[in-house]
Amino acid sequence: MKRLNSQLQQDGAPLELILLIRTLLAGCKEISFRVSQGALAGVLGSTLSENVQGETQKKLDVISNQILKDILKESGYVKAISSEEEDDVVPCHPEGNYLVSFDPLDGSSNTEINSLIGTIFSIAHAPQWMAPNDPAAFLQPGSQMVAAGYVLYGPSTMLAMTTGKGTHIYTLDKTHGGFLLTHPNVQVPEQTAEFSINASNQRHWEAPMQQYVNDLLAGEEGPMGKNYNMRWVAAMVGDVHRLLCRGGIFMYPYDKRDPTKAGKLRLLYEANPMAFLIEQAGGSASTGAGRIMEVMPEEIHQRVPVILGSKDEVEACLSYYD
Ligand code: AHG
Ligand code: MN
Ligand code: MN
Ligand code: MN
């Protein structure tokens, strides 16, 4: 079975990028081990501190963030990082050529129930002009990413990654510690009958999303003319993994309770990397107003509405916004 390294070479990734990716994944393997220890590692429950976004941090969020921060700072390849769990950009190495953004632990509330969680990351070039602690360099549209992916800590540890030459899924072979290519060039089916949304927020959505979901729920008798199934992992990483495996539509729309009309998910740490993976697998990713990867970020912790997955279904959803 093909190893990660040879797939990255085949896709034309430069050596330094390959080394950076391998470094990042070494950190993820450590997170995978910590996660598998569960309560035995004393990692369950909340700390008293809150992160910049006002959520109480789970201890495993903090540990995962620290692991990735330490390993990337040491590597020499990275000029700066931005993380869901850091208030500000973290300067790394003045000569580093890359910027890394990550959600160290996505779906962290699932740690309490031994359910799916993962790490989401993206990599971009560090502009020459930037000072290592300058957040402005991170304010590039997602279309500038050179690589993105996630590591899913499930029954097996899996990596989904793209360097812009398709989306490939690998499985961690714990016997030798390497990622093996188990699902080359995955394709999200264009059509689906499966949707994914936190329906408890329905009354807070905008009218188009309310109407679309009502029509999905109407099934065969409604305008869609078919019955849909619904799934919600409560970890975007788990929901997107399912989409890459068998298609579907995932939505986290904006909520009227939020005057900034942003939604919940973070552009740099969640929406952009997932949009890159989904697009490279033949799917679509939109905010409802345009392509996620074309949004020009105004600040590193910016949030955006997310609608992504099977092409035809995303198009059907967007038609309600026209
Ligand atoms: P995080 O654990 O990194 O803060 O992200 C959680 C996000 C995302 O993964 C998931 O899709 C969503 O929150 C779940 O939201 P609900 O609480 O509305 O289910
Ligand atoms: Mn969080
Ligand atoms: Mn997250
Ligand atoms: Mn997180």
Tell me the CA–centroid distance for residue 94 and ligand 1, in Å.
34
pLDDT tens for each residue of 240-288: 999 999 999 999 999 889 888 889 999 999 999 999 999 999 999 999 9
Q: Is 107 annotated as a binding residue?
A: yes
Distance 225 CA to ligand 4 centre (A): 37
Q: Is the CB of 56 under 6 A from ligand 1?
A: no
Is it the case that residue 44 has pLDDT exceeding 80? Answer: no
Distance CA 179, CA 177 (A): 7
Ligand 2 center to residue 317 CA distance, Å? 27
Identify the residue whose C-alpha is closest to ligand 1 atom 18: 198
Query: With a 6 A CB cut-off, is 64 part of the ligand 1 pocket?
Result: no
Contacts of 97 (CB under 8 A, 6+ apart): 16, 77, 79, 125, 126
Ranges 111-115, 131-135, 167-171, 262-266, most confident? 167-171
E strand map for 126-247:
147-153, 157-162, 167-173, 178-183, 194-196, 229-230
What pTM did the predictor assign? Answer: 0.96
* Residue 255 φ/ψ region, left for φ over 0, alpha for ψ in the -120 to 50 degree band, beta for the rest: beta
What secondary structure, in 3-state letters, does 50-77 show? Answer: ECCCCCEEEHHHHHHHHHHHHHHHHHCC
Residue 106 annotated as lining a ligand binding site = yes
Mean pLDDT for the chain?
A: 94
pLDDT single digits (tens) 153-197: 999 999 999 999 999 999 999 999 999 999 999 999 999 999 999
Helix (H, G, I), strand (E, B) or coil at 122: strand
Which atom of ligand 1 is found nearest the CA of 103? 3
Residue 286 annotated as part of some ligand binding site: no
Find out whether the beta carbon of 107 lies less than 6 Å from any atom of ligand 1. yes
231 lines ligand 1 (CB under 6 A): no
In one-letter notation, the amino acid at residue 213 is V
Mutate to test the pocket of ligand 1, among 106, 251, 254, 303 (most ligand atoms within 8 A of CB): 106
pLDDT of residue 132: 81
ipTM: 0.97
Q: Please state the atom number of ligand 1 nearest to the C-alpha of residue 200.
A: 18
Ligand 1: does its nearest atom lie under 6 Å from the Cβ of 236? yes
Euclidean distance between CA atoms 278 and 142, whole angstroms = 13
Ligand 4: centre distance to CA 228 (Å): 29
Predicted confidence band of residue 48 (pLDDT cuts 50, 70, 90): low
